[in-house]
A and B are shown apart, each in its own frame.
With several copies, the nearest count.
Chain A
């Protein structure tokens, strides 16, 4: 399940809802990764753009991959502005056994960072500044650039 919200995530509510939804499904491990915006480099927060169609395709492929190991994925992400010390991102794995779950949460979060079509901006003096240096080129980048 992929959930997108405007602004910061209500972490306690989302985790409580997910836990209630899944606790009777006989998974042994529930591992959420919760990203919290750090107060650093003078920013007041972060802001996000998301291209939803490709994000959904990316997520569905991961869900299929997880289901082949009997596991399930959940994800929530913010759109727009997210102040410091609030959450913009939660990914969670449910798995029968811990080892699959611990491996999947690592691989899922790392691949999210490398491939999810989301653009991050620092909020500085009320302005959005694209976080270009912290961003990752997608596969095939430069295809339309003249040599």
Chain B
């Protein structure tokens, strides 16, 4: 199971999901209308590396992080 972490202000508990790639995650999320507002503005990291494509295989124990817009300093 991959673990999904919702960072910063999203305020949602981590999820464990059984997926083979990010496309499947997008499908699962499509049912969560409330989350869509965040997904619109969130970037994605897999095992702490930012990704730009849905064509990424997900292995068991991968960590998937959702990162909303940032503002340090």
Interface residues of A (CB under 8 A from B): 35, 48-51, 53-54, 57, 77, 88-89, 98, 109, 112-121, 130-132, 134-146
**In the bound complex, do residue B44 and residue A140 qualify as a contact, i.e. CB atoms below 8 Å apart?**
yes
**In the bound complex, do residue B69 and residue A141 qualify as a contact, i.e. CB atoms below 8 Å apart?**
yes
Give Cα distance in the complex from A142 to B40, angstroms.
4
Give Cα distance in the complex from A48 to B22, angstroms.
29
**In the bound complex, do residue B42 and residue A142 qualify as a contact, i.e. CB atoms below 8 Å apart?**
yes
Main secondary structure of the interface of A (DSSP, over half): mixed
Q: Which of A49, A113, A115 contacts B9 (CB 8 A)?
A: A49
**In the bound complex, do residue B51 and residue A143 qualify as a contact, i.e. CB atoms below 8 Å apart?**
yes
Q: Which size bracket describes the interface of B in this complex?
A: 20 to 34
Within 8 A of A (CB), among B39-73: 39-45, 48-54, 65-73
Residue of B nearest to A56 (CB): B48
**In the bound complex, do residue A49 and residue B73 qualify as a contact, i.e. CB atoms below 8 Å apart?**
no
**In the bound complex, do residue B69 and residue A143 qualify as a contact, i.e. CB atoms below 8 Å apart?**
no
- Given A119-B70, A138-B70, A140-B51, A146-B41 contact (CB < 8 Å): no
Give Cα distance in the complex from A143 to B25, angstroms.
11
Contacts of A130 in B (CB 8 A): 8-9, 68
Interface centre among B36, B41, B44, B70, by most chain A C-beta atoms within 10 angstroms, is B70
The 27 sampled A-B contact pairs (Cβ below 8 Å) are A49-B8, A51-B65, A51-B67, A53-B48, A54-B50, A77-B72, A88-B73, A89-B72, A113-B71, A113-B72, A116-B70, A119-B8, A120-B71, A130-B68, A138-B50, A139-B50, A140-B51, A141-B43, A142-B40, A142-B41, A142-B42, A143-B54, A144-B22, A144-B39, A144-B44, A145-B39, A146-B29
B22: min CB distance to chain A, Å: 7
**In the bound complex, do residue A143 and residue B22 qualify as a contact, i.e. CB atoms below 8 Å apart?**
yes
**In the bound complex, do residue B51 and residue A54 qualify as a contact, i.e. CB atoms below 8 Å apart?**
no
Contacts of B71 in A (CB 8 A): 113, 118-120, 131, 134-136
Known: A54-B65, A98-B73. 14 other contacts (CB 8 A): A118-B71, A119-B9, A119-B70, A130-B68, A135-B69, A138-B67, A138-B69, A140-B43, A141-B41, A141-B42, A143-B44, A143-B53, A144-B26, A144-B66
